[in-house]
Amino acid sequence: MPLCGGAIIDERHVLTAAHCFRMKKIEISASTLSVVVGNLHISEETVRKKVQEIFIHENYDPDYYYNDIALLRISETFHWTNEVQPIRLSKALTKSGICIVSGWGNIYLDKRGTQWLYSVEVPIVNWTFCNQQYNKKGRSLSDKVICAGAIDKDSCQVLFYFVLIREMSLKMLLLG
């Protein structure tokens, strides 16, 4: 079963979430991990590479998921195919538009992760509105996050990391 999703950003690096590798009292070792890419179903293992090193943002906060970002260095380079390509990184904070979240997690509240890679289009939500919703639950939201989701279309049921991307001129662009 997949641990977390991620996005290839160059020949030797995958961008993912820090919470996948460092929880409050548990840290996962790079030597126990592999990255599998190029597949839409768990049984379709196209390319597997060992993880050499995990870099977690130095200001990652596991209580609030602030700076929830990690970089995986892969032991061997990826070779580009139709199914295995790097994603372009956004240089600006996007405040509107439609994005795609994708991952291997739960698609129903009471179910375990799926064997298929799922995705859904979601709108980017106004940060002020999003923060107000968090405040109602006694939480605050970092001004460095992108809020996205809609009724019955979000990544809240998912236990695993989702990649937030935006389709621009038929090329995918990583937002967060």
Q: Which domains does the chain have, with CATH numbers?
A: 7-74 (2.40.10.10), 88-174 (2.40.10.10)
| 62-88 tens-digit pLDDT | 877 788 889 999 999 999 998 899 988
Confidence at 50, pLDDT banded by 50, 70, 90: very high
Dist. CA 29–CA 3, nearest whole Å: 13
Tell me the pLDDT of the chain averaged across its residues: 77
Confidence at 123, pLDDT banded by 50, 70, 90: confident
Residue tagged 């994005």 (tokens): 99
| 85-117 tens-digit pLDDT | 998 887 776 778 888 877 766 666 555 666 777
More confident residue, 104 or 22: 22
For residues 39 and 84, the answer to whether their CB atoms sit within 8 Å is no
pLDDT of residue 113: 63
β partners of residue 147 = 125
For residues 155 and 162, the answer to whether their CB atoms sit within 8 Å is yes
The token duo for 175 is 């937002």
Q: Strand runs (DSSP E) across the chain, as ranges? A: 7-10, 13-16, 34-37, 47-56, 70-74, 88-89, 98-103, 118-125, 147-148, 163-168, 171-174
pLDDT of residue 166: 46
pTM: 0.80
Dist. CA 3–CA 157, nearest whole Å: 15
More confident residue, 25 or 72: 72
